[in-house]
Chains A and B, each alone.
Chain A
Amino acid sequence: MPFNLLVLACITYVILLFLVAFLVESRARRGRLGWLRSPLVYTLSLSIYCTAWTFYGAVGYAARSGLEYLTIYFGPTLVFIGWWWVLRKLVRIGRQHRVTSIADLISARFGKSNLLGVIVTLMAVVATTPYIALQLQSVVLSFGVFAEHAPDGSAPLGADPTAIWVAAGLALFTILFGTRNLDAKEQHHGIVTAIAVEAVVKLFALIAVGIFVVWGLAGGVSGMMQRIDASAITGWAMNPGRWTGLILLAGVAVICLPRMFHVLVVENYDEGHLARASWAFPAYLMLMSLFIVPIAVMGMERLPAGSNPDMFVLTLPLTEGQGALAMLAFLGGFSSATSMVIVEAIALATMVSNHIVLPVWLRLRPAGAISEDVRAVVLNARRVSIGVVLAMGYGYYHVSGGSAALASIGLIAFAGVAQFLPAMIGGIFWRGATRVGAIAGLIVGFAVWAYALFLPSFGPDAVFPAGLLADGPAGIGWLRPQALFGSDGMDPLIHALFWSLFLNGTAFFLGSVVTFPGPVERLQGAAFVNVFEGPLRPRGLGGGHVEPEALLVMAQHILGDEAAQTLFEEAARAQGKRQSILPDPTPAFVSDLEQRLSGSVGAATAHAMIANVTGQGTVTVDDLMTVARESAQLMEYSAQLENQREELARTATALREANDKLTQLSVQKDAFLSQISHELRTPMTSIRAFSEILAEGDLPPAMVARSGRIIQDESRRLTRLLDDLLDLSVLESGKVQLTLGLANLREMIDRSIQAAEQVKPETRFVILRDLAAESLFLRTDADRLTQVFINLISNARKYCDAPQPEIRIAVKMKAGRVRIDIADNGSGIPKDAQGLIFEKFGRLPGEMRAKGAGLGLAICREIVANLGGTIAYLPGQGGAAFRIVLPLRLEAKAA
């Protein structure tokens, strides 16, 4: 077959895939995926598990090792049927937390640790890059088989250009369809569908070759059975240890391989699809494995000895002259290789860009300058990452030169990615798992894998010197890479798998037990482990199809009825809808709406609400935290407003109080001036009237004398009033000069009683005193205090209306203060007037009215205050009673 025709077929096939991917993508954009979202497509996309290694290599494997190749199918079958609940939990977590890769899952579970993301990413790249190289090799080999008609299937010379073209073409395809858009969830409907098509092609091709072999060459089932029985394959002894190990390895790999995780979890559209896949995928694997043995047996029989059994699928039809069938087989192998490379590249590129490129980019940027479109940056990072991943695959292929090392790289890669298992499964089932444990387990497991399996696989003296492999580093026997801790005689693969997983799991467990998870870790741990306890999110019609009514209702709650209605009507008109006011919930409309809503409730809340209504993913801890932050900002803002409002209210109250006080003061001042006017004018009226009478002359002498005495009395009254006013003014201003000194209280009281006798000198008062108690010395202003006593005793003499008037003076010392009560036995002061008596001009009404100006008690109060004490009316004493409390020692005020 001419090489050019082969290239043409390849290109046609690739164009077909492009078309499929393109059509599906454009349908997806219009929200009309329909049956393309069926469980069938999901199941078929899982078939990327079957790479070229499985397609071509399984036959070779069977030819070399008998039925052992079946372990590669048993593992996934057991996992899909028996571990269905684990897969379901992974898928649920993946959906709820919008997991983008296995690195993202592990990083998110352990407190969004980017260090973990980086570790997992690097491990995945290291472990699977050779695997990509393996696919390139298989394509190159198959090309070679066709092009040069080399039935022995040896690697052709000058294969590099082919590999380059294949790698470049795959990179182009992957970039075109793998980075078209950046969903919150990394779903690529076009690619998934194209892969499903490829899955059909490879299954069809393999079965076609099988049918040709069984019925075309062997002459039917019975003939085939006889040949199989006769072949060497049945002679292979089954090694139970190795079988168990391989089944375990394949089972682990089917969930840990980045590409498998990608299609299984990330591309999962509906959790229900998994239920179908749990039996359909094992069925697919069974069909794929059905004709492996017949092809291997027939290949060994028909083809010359020394032919590469890995290429039997191709070389058998070719040598039998079945060009078309060979072409189909070639396309099957091509499909296996390309689909694996594409998805692996997407999965790895997502990890590399999300966990390595973007964090570095964000860190390198000047702070606060994230103005450009981050989406563009992410997409470009992903494109570059795809290119890098494929370039590395090609580089590995080129360096290894298609060596035999590649043949076993599939299982080595399996063992490498199996190191993710403890952290992943532990993370979703054990809340006690911690970041430190995960990091320790991954690093230990990966190191053991590299040391015991990966590096030795390059052969003696390639990486490790032969001596190290044989005797251990520095001759330490128990550190021999392929016989750790003296475990001699084990199969190297099983040996490495056992020790790496065992030490990985131990480090993970111990690391988790001895460390304590941080708050985000605990939150995430709970969210992951208890993922099924959360409420199931309501799903829209046909999966993520949103009910526009639901969006409208939600928008009305936030924007208000009218604004929301207008927004929706405009959108409906823009979509060209005449009949309905409800627009189609296209991604563009939904994202517009989200933007509108975020103007009202903040971006995170808007996103969470939209996500809730559309059922796309759920609210993550990050979302909640952002919502909380925004709410906190709002609350802080409103608290600030509230504070300002309260402050304004306080200021207003203070102003009102000040104003009231001023008004009151003004009223008081008016009243005071009015009182003073009255108190001055009253004696002046008498003085003027009698002086005019005197001036007129012609008066009887008695009248002259009387007039003179009245004038004298009223003049004294005026003088006294002015003295009191001045005194009070000085006392009130606080500028009074006190003459402090030690004075005997008894002497002061003696003097006061004597002075007060001027008042009603004709009335005899009984004065009751406790002279012993009075005999104490006060440090005070004696003259001022005496003034107070005189005032109080005079008042008692003036107003006491008892028939046998008494004045009681009681003195008591208490805690550095002295208490002096002065009481009479009259009728006292009416209750309603008691509050008034210490005010200026606060004279009693009616007959109790004093003849004075009413300043006496006001002056007393001011004096006592200046002496550091208090004076109060003492009710309930049977008469008028006043209590003075003074400090024993008054200290001079600080100057």
Chain B
Amino acid sequence: MGQHVLLIEDEPNIAEAIGFILSRDGWQVTHLSTGTGAAATAQRITPDLIILDHMLPDLSGLEVLAALRGDPSTAATPVLMLTARGQSRDREAAARAGADSFMAKPFANAEILAEVRALAGRAPVARG
């Protein structure tokens, strides 16, 4: 399919696992381990989907999300948020900030793949 996923995740092993799963499924994966510059990168590469960790070392995932939603080129890009805290409060906060989906760690590989496929497929204006 050759679609492009931007993965923003600070834990190297998790990033490697997600990268492996998606690559094997035919996605092109760009990985960033910090929040700083993530929005700029997204605007530059205009990914079809963004996977965003909730807890980054420098910025919080919500801050990055706000930056993404604030820019026209990424305002409509589907965003899947990951969190290791898994509290409903985080889920609500993510939804309010404009996340399209939300997934708690740990997850099944099939789950995240299905979610990515669903989000990317339901993105009619993804490259509008």
Interface pick from B39-47, B69-77, B100-108, B117-125 = B100-108
When chains A and B are docked, how far (Å) is the Cα of A658 from the Cα of B37?
A: 44
Minimum Cβ distance to chain A for residue B106 (Å): 4
Chain A neighbourhood of B104, CB < 8 A: 681
Indicate if A678 sits at the interface (CB-CB under 8 A).
yes
Interface of A (DSSP majority class): helix
A686, B14: Cβ atoms under 8 Å?
A: yes
A710, B13: Cβ atoms under 8 Å?
A: yes
Chain B neighbourhood of A690, CB < 8 A: 13, 17
Chain A neighbourhood of B20, CB < 8 A: 693, 703
The A-contacting residues of B in range 70-116, CB under 8 angstroms, are 84-87, 104-110
Known: A678-B85, A692-B108, A692-B109. A685 touches B57 (CB 8 A): no
Minimum Cβ distance to chain A for residue B10 (Å): 8
Least CB separation from B24: chain A residue = A693
Indicate if A846 sits at the interface (CB-CB under 8 A).
yes
Minimum Cβ distance to chain B for residue A698 (Å): 10
Chain B neighbourhood of A845, CB < 8 A: 57-58
Indicate if A849 sits at the interface (CB-CB under 8 A).
yes
Least CB separation from B20: chain A residue = A693
Least CB separation from A695: chain B residue = B109
The B-contacting residues of A in range 663-692, CB under 8 angstroms, are 674, 677-679, 681-682, 684-690, 692
When chains A and B are docked, how far (Å) is the Cα of A461 from the Cα of B120?
A: 148
Indicate if B126 sits at the interface (CB-CB under 8 A).
no
Among candidates A677, A682, A703, A847, residue contacting B11 with C-beta atoms closer than 8 Å: A682
Indicate if A714 sits at the interface (CB-CB under 8 A).
yes
A674, B85: Cβ atoms under 8 Å?
A: yes
Chain A neighbourhood of B11, CB < 8 A: 682, 685-686
The B-contacting residues of A in range 693-721, CB under 8 angstroms, are 693, 703, 710, 713-714
Minimum Cβ distance to chain B for residue A830 (Å): 14
Among candidates A678, A679, A689, A847, residue contacting B109 with C-beta atoms closer than 8 Å: A689
B109, A693: Cβ atoms under 8 Å?
A: yes
The B-contacting residues of A in range 294-321, CB under 8 angstroms, are none
When chains A and B are docked, how far (Å) is the Cα of A692 from the Cα of B84?
A: 19
B84, A689: Cβ atoms under 8 Å?
A: no
A846-864 vs B, Cβ < 8 Å mask (1 yes, 0 no):
1101000000000000000
The B-contacting residues of A in range 17-40, CB under 8 angstroms, are none
Chain B neighbourhood of A684, CB < 8 A: 105-106
> Interface size bucket, A side?
20 to 34
Least CB separation from B54: chain A residue = A678
When chains A and B are docked, how far (Å) is the Cα of A678 from the Cα of B83?
A: 8
Among candidates A681, A686, A713, A849, residue contacting B17 with C-beta atoms closer than 8 Å: A686
Indicate if B18 sits at the interface (CB-CB under 8 A).
yes
Among candidates B17, B55, B87, B105, residue contacting A693 with C-beta atoms closer than 8 Å: B17
Minimum Cβ distance to chain B for residue A844 (Å): 9
B109, A677: Cβ atoms under 8 Å?
A: no
Indicate if B25 sits at the interface (CB-CB under 8 A).
no
A685, B107: Cβ atoms under 8 Å?
A: yes
Chain A neighbourhood of B57, CB < 8 A: 845-847, 849
Minimum Cβ distance to chain A for residue B27 (Å): 16
B17, A689: Cβ atoms under 8 Å?
A: yes
Minimum Cβ distance to chain A for residue B44 (Å): 23
Least CB separation from B57: chain A residue = A849
When chains A and B are docked, how far (Å) is the Cα of A674 from the Cα of B85?
A: 6
Least CB separation from B104: chain A residue = A681
Indicate if B66 sits at the interface (CB-CB under 8 A).
no
A253-288 vs B, Cβ < 8 Å mask (1 yes, 0 no):
000000000000000000000000000000000000
Indicate if B16 sits at the interface (CB-CB under 8 A).
yes
B17, A846: Cβ atoms under 8 Å?
A: no
When chains A and B are docked, how far (Å) is the Cα of A877 from the Cα of B93?
A: 42
When chains A and B are docked, how far (Å) is the Cα of A674 from the Cα of B89?
A: 11
Indicate if B67 sits at the interface (CB-CB under 8 A).
no
Known: A690-B17, A693-B21, A710-B16. A681 touches B58 (CB 8 A): no
Chain B neighbourhood of A846, CB < 8 A: 57-58
Chain A neighbourhood of B87, CB < 8 A: 674, 677
Among candidates B14, B16, B55, residue contacting A678 with C-beta atoms closer than 8 Å: B55
Known: A677-B86, A678-B84, A693-B109. A685 touches B14 (CB 8 A): yes
Write the residues of chain A forming the contact surface with B, with a CB cutoff of 8 angstroms.
Answer: 674, 677-679, 681-682, 684-690, 692-693, 703, 710, 713-714, 845-847, 849
What are the 10 tightest A-B residue pairs by CB atom distance, in nearest-first order? A689-B17, A686-B13, A681-B84, A685-B106, A685-B105, A678-B84, A688-B106, A681-B105, A692-B109, A684-B106
22 pairs from A and B in contact (CB 8 Å cutoff): A674-B85, A677-B84, A681-B84, A681-B85, A681-B86, A681-B106, A682-B14, A682-B105, A685-B17, A685-B84, A686-B14, A686-B17, A687-B106, A689-B14, A689-B106, A689-B107, A692-B110, A693-B21, A693-B109, A710-B13, A710-B17, A846-B57
Write the residues of chain B forming the contact surface with A, with a CB cutoff of 8 angstroms.
Answer: 11, 13-14, 16-18, 20-21, 55, 57-58, 84-87, 104-110
